[in-house]
């Protein structure tokens, strides 16, 4: 469920980090206000990660939050997880201790949650000695990245390696997210980006991306279009 969001999510994270550079931070959860580097954002809590136990607790399951508006994003993920059979989103506590790097697994979970929510980024901060707090912005001032022909090859290749399951889902998810016309022809996906730029993504027999090429394309070249 998270993999289709990998490529566009990576570009959006870059946009978000440029907007909100690293710096001192404060948060008021009652008011849903997060402040960092001179900027103030409205946020929603995803969950918290216990670095000592290697466990993730969703915001909606934290008794300190109850049904406060600040956990609206986590509540939406719980409903999504129940509807689509994704236990990592639906269960109160997610045990990440068996991963080689539980902290990295927590980042992957937060990134996947950001994608499913179609949020404009995510924030992870050290709230205390063993606890990290994860949030997503819910504020119109956050810039939203659009389709980028220059960055596309890098985003598709890196996105395919992030979850490393289905490169096709990453590619199709990118084009679907931006509503771009695309079609599959055997082991090739062709798409049209704004401005008439065409993208051709080739896959090897194992389903991995073997090449991404960019060039001018006519609308008729796509024939019957698909949009995801």
pLDDT along the chain (228 residues), means of 10: 95 96 93 94 97 96 87 96 96 97 96 97 95 96 95 96 93 97 95 92 96 75 44
Q: Which two tokens stand for residue 205?
A: 């027999």
Identify the helix (H) or strand (E) that includes residue 94: strand 93-95
Q: What is the pLDDT of residue 216?
A: 78
Print burial letters for 143-180: b (CB count within 10 Å at least 16), e (below 16): eebebbeeebbebbbebbebbeebbbbbbbbbbbbbeb
pTM of the model: 0.89
- pLDDT of the residue at 225: 42
pLDDT for 196: 86
Supply the pLDDT for residue 40: 96
**What integer pLDDT is reported at residue 109 of this predicted model?**
96
Q: Are strands 123-126 and 131-137 parallel, antiparallel or unpaired?
A: antiparallel
Under 8 Å between Cβ of 54 and 66: no
Report the pLDDT value the prediction gives residue 192, as an integer from 0 to 100. Answer: 94
pLDDT at site 101: 96
**Separation of alpha carbons 122 and 164, rounded Å:** 21
Give the pLDDT confidence score for residue 226 in this predicted structure. Answer: 45
């Amino acid at each position: 469920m998270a993999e289709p969001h990998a490529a566009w999510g990576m570009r959006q994270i870059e946009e978000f980090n440029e907007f909100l550079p690293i710096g001192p931070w404060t948060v008021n959860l009652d008011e849903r206000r997060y402040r960092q580097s001179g900027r103030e954002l409205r946020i929603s809590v995803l969950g918290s990660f216990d670095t000592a136990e290697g466990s993730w607790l969703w915001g909606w399951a934290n008794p300190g939050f109850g049904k406060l508006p600040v956990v609206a994003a986590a509540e939406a993920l719980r409903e999504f997880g129940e509807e689509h059979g994704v236990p990592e989103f639906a269960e109160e506590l997610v045990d990440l201790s068996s991963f080689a790097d539980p902290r990295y697994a927590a980042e992957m979970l937060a990134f996947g949650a950001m994608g499913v929510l179609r949020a404009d980024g995510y924030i992870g901060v050290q709230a205390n000695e063993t606890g990290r707090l994860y949030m997503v912005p819910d504020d119109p001032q956050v810039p939203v990245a659009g389709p980028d022909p220059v960055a596309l090859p890098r985003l598709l290749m890196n996105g395919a390696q992030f979850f490393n399951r289905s490169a096709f889902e990453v590619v199709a998810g990118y084009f679907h997210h931006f509503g771009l016309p695309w079609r599959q022809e055997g082991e090739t996906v062709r798409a049209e980006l704004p401005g008439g730029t065409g993208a051709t993504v080739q896959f090897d027999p194992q389903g991995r991306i073997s090449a991404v090429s960019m060039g001018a394309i006519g609308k008729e070249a796509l024939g019957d279009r698909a949009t995801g």
